[in-house]
Amino acid sequence: MNEKVKNNQKNRKISLNFWQLSFLIFGSVGIPGILFGDTIAKQHGVNDSILSIGVGNLVIWLIGMIVVSMAAEKKDNAIKNINNYLGKKTAFFASLCIILAFLSWYTMQLKAGNLTINHILNINLNENTHLRSGTAIGLFAALLSIGGLRFNKHLLIASGALLFCYMIYLFINSNPIKLASPFGFSFKATGVTILFLLPGTVNFPTFFRYSRSKADSFLALTLIIVLVAFMELSSLWVKPDILFHPITTTILNTQASFKLPLLIMIIIFTTSSLLVNIYFASACWESIISNFGGAKEYAIIGLLGTAAFTFFQIIQPMQFLIDLAIYFISTLGVILIITFIGSIIRSNSFAKLLGSASWLIGCFTATVLEYQNPNQKMQTLMTSIGISCLFFLVAFFLEETIWSIKRIIKKK
């Protein structure tokens, strides 16, 4: 029995209940998730951000419910789910996009972890030291990934629970800012909130296939959204004393002796986020390479992510491709849902063809707009999604109208 078969058999035995699944996914947002609320408040104001974060997370919950429902019966991973509804070729292209986006997520988590550790230790890292320390954490995560999800699930669940406890502590011990009425709403802030989680939502089936039941999956998804919304909203109330890392200032000012525990906690957050990204990306590699999926392959994915952090993070063409991949995945999530609804009304084969065509048009639009206006990321994303959806709806409208007319004429 080869290594891949053994690994797949072990993974099938994994059974996660709702709280295990929710904390496992919640922990993967890591340090960027802690900083999200403060970041969006600086751009759109605290009052406008509160309602926008709430609405954005509700939209993500709805998208997540549909995506998880699509794969719940067969317990497929994310790529097999895309294959079922959009076809093999589209799933292959989606795998390439997610792999490129994985490099961005892996690099982002390592950067955030490095900067936070720098603040805790109160040292100024030069570029070489920054790369070495980040590479060390990346290699550590790659080594841990060899154990697979069965070996690391306890670490991932504990990381999510620890992150939740830390946010409560931070919220209680911070100096909250004063809110002034009236509260507003920002479509742009809502879009940013959706974009923050949408690519990961497309990948949910890769982990939700281990859910104990469909009810556990739905309750876990609700808890994930509640936990993430709590994190994002809590960080709105934290008044940062420094520009980049308010997450460590409060606790260090309260108890300087907490420096070592806090350092260990940040390393746990970063490592857990990297592990989840590795397992998300593994489903893509499995769809491209038939014999991919063993312990060594997990390590290879981690090494690729670490290499991207070390060598490619400052190369502009690479960043252009990674940005495109994120646009493509976000558009894919919306088209996947529309295709699922369309397949209920019309045959699955027609929905697959139309969904794939709509996504490709959205990808083409995003590519052109990103090339012309690289600094208008939200506008590029919303335009590509809008054009994809519009093409799908118009084509579906015409097809259904023509089909109805033909059926009526035929009966006469």
**Are 206 and 338 found together in one domain?**
no
Average pLDDT, the chain: 80
> What pLDDT is stored for residue 148 in this prediction?
81
The pLDDT of residue 10: 47
| Domain, as residue range, for 58 | 10-313
Tens of pLDDT, residues 91-136: 888 888 888 888 788 888 888 777 777 777 765 555 566 677 778 8
pLDDT at 218: 92
Per the domain annotation, does 97 fall within a domain?
Answer: yes
Between 310 and 225, name the one with better pLDDT: 225
What's residue 254's pLDDT? Answer: 47
DSSP, collapsed to helix, strand or coil, labels residue 123 as coil
Inside any domain, residue 209 = yes
Shared domain for 17 and 112, answered yes or no, is yes
- Please tell me whether residues 160 and 236 are part of one structural domain: yes
270/196 same-domain check: yes
Question: Considering Cα of 293, then 225, then 306, then 93, what sign does the dihedral take?
Answer: positive
Task: Give residue 7's pLDDT.
Answer: 47
Q: Distance between CA atoms of 51 and 59, rounded to whole angstroms?
A: 12
Asked if residue 120 is part of any domain, the answer here is yes
Taking the C-alpha atoms of residue 366 and residue 172, their distance in angstroms, rounded to an integer, is: 42
- Per-residue pLDDT, averaged over 179-199, amounts to 76
Least confident of 175-189, 259-273, 397-411: 175-189
Residues 275 and 363 in one domain: no
* 2, part of any domain: no
Q: Which of 257, 278, 313 is the last residue of a domain?
A: 313
Write the CB contacts of 250 (distance below 8 Å, at least 6 apart in sequence): 170, 173, 174, 238, 241
- Give how far Cα 124 sits from Cα of 118, 129, 244, Å: 7, 9, 14
Domain boundary among 313, 343, 367: 313
Same domain, residue pair 354 and 288? no
Domain end marker among 290, 313, 336: 313
CB 296 within 8 A of CB 302: no
Task: Say whether both 385 and 294 belong to one domain.
Answer: no
- My answer on whether 295 and 323 are in the same domain is no
Assigned domain for 210 exists: yes
Number of domains in the chain: 2
- Is residue 198 domain-shared with residue 208, that is, in the same domain? yes
SS3 213: coil
Mean pLDDT calculated for residue range 27-48: 77
Q: Is 4 part of a structural domain of the chain?
A: no
350 and 248 in a common domain: no
Q: What are phi and psi of 19, to 5 degrees?
A: -75, -35
CB atoms within 10 A of CB 300: 17
Alpha helices in 209-294 (DSSP H): 214-237, 246-254, 259-288
Residue 258 pLDDT > 70, yes or no?
no
